[in-house]
Structure formats: C-alpha cells, structure tokens
Chain A
Amino acid sequence: ETGVTQTPRHLVMGMTNKKSLKCEQHLGHNAMYWYKQSAKKPLELMFVYSLEERVENNSVPSRFSPECPNSSHLFLHLHTLQPEDSALYLCASSQDRSRPLGNEQFFGPGTRLTVL
C-alpha cells in the first residue's frame, strides 16, 4: 500500500465508449501525475498537476482529458480511444515537485486498459 489508489483496476472498452479512470492519494501531496506504460516500453509521462493546476501536458492526444478537482483526486477521462491506447495507466503523487527531496513519486497500482 503506497497511499495512492486507482479504480478501476481493469477496464475493457470499445472505441466508441466514454470512461473515466480515478486516482486518489491519501498522502497530503501537492503534485499528481498520469503515466502510460505499454508492453516493453518505458514509462511515458502524460500529465502533471501541481496544486490542482496542470503544469505539464506531454503532447497527449485530446481523446485523453485529465481533471484535478482537488489535490487528492485526479481523473483521466477517455473517449473514442484506439486499440493502441491499450496499456497500463499509472497514477502517482509526490509531496513537492519543486525540489528533489520532495519529488519521490508514489505510484498507484494502475488501471489495465484494453481497447477493443
């Protein structure tokens, strides 16, 4: 248990569906992250939120839409995905991304997404 939870753990969706991934951190951290991890590929940073403000968007297609309503919750809204979007989606949080000592990231268990 890292203090970061994600739901659902597994999701299968069609290309026309709309779904949302949820992440919650119970650590009092100020920064939250979405990563994509495909088979045999490195972690790809998608979005970063710091104090509920999006500070980084790494050229992610618009079919992925993040939302951070408060510092403890992070969502990833999905619509009209493609089969190549099938991957493990990991959420992470860190205490304070402005300094290395506070930037160690605590990861949730991930959502295994399959797009048919």
Chain B
Amino acid sequence: GQNIDQPTEMTATEGAIVQINCTYQTSGFNGLFWYQQHAGEAPTFLSYNVLDGLEEKGRFSSFLSRSKGYSYLLLKELQMKDSASYLCAVYTNAGKSTFGDGTTLTVKP
C-alpha cells in the first residue's frame, strides 16, 4: 500500500516564503506530482519530480529526495491568490497515482 503525509493546514503572510512538506512510503515509486486546488475548483498540475533535486518553475519550486521518501513544495513571494489546497501525488511504476490529503494554505495580508 501507500502512505502519504502532508500537514493539514498552514498559514503564511503575503510576500513571504512557505514550504509544504510531503512524506511518503510506497513500493515501486516512480515520481511525485504537486497539484493546486482552489476552493470549489478542480486541481491543476503544478510540478513533478522524478529524480532527486530541485525543480524550479517561477515562484514555485519542488524538491524530491527518493532515499528519504520526502518532497516539498516551496512558494516564494506569496500572493493572496496562492491561498488554496496543495496536493502531493505519488506515482508508481504500476502506472498508479495516489493523492495525499492535501495541505490548505491560507495567505494573510
């Protein structure tokens, strides 16, 4: 089976930096995805990591350590519109993606 852990809620200030962690235990790990979901809307793809290291995409970066079963999503220069749920999803070599419970981020002025 798979076990994915994320913090339930986080709060940060506009303009700041926030790091959302995701730890996982799975067999046949083959990649990790991050999605953003605004309230009442569908998830949208943010990033994926297959190899160890940092992937940067504008204000958002995602990091993966396969040996530690750990990933984080880093959001810089936070904006109010970044308030949303952030879901990490683990992809296995069986072609299966499993989503974590998500982290609800609230950005305050």
Contacts and interface: CB of A to CB of B under 8 A. Distances in A.
A2 B101 CA distance: 23
A41 B8 CA distance: 11
Contact of B95 (A42, A90, A98, A106): A98
Given A42-B100, A42-B102, A104-B33, A2 B42 contact: yes
Interface string B26-70: 000011010100000111110010100000000000000000000
B26 to A, nearest CB: 13
A100 interface: yes
B96 to A, nearest CB: 7
Contacts of A107: 42-44
Contacts of B100: 42
Nearest to B87: A43
Contacts of B31: 100, 103
A113 interface: no
Contacts of A100: 30-31, 48, 50, 91
A108 interface: yes
Contact of A2 (B44, B48, B87, B99): B44
18 contacts: A41-B101, A42-B87, A42-B99, A42-B101, A43-B99, A43-B102, A45-B98, A45-B99, A48-B96, A55-B95, A100-B30, A100-B50, A103-B33, A103-B91, A104-B48, A105-B35, A106-B45, A107-B44
Interface of A: 2, 41-43, 45, 48, 50, 55-56, 90, 97-98, 100-101, 103-110
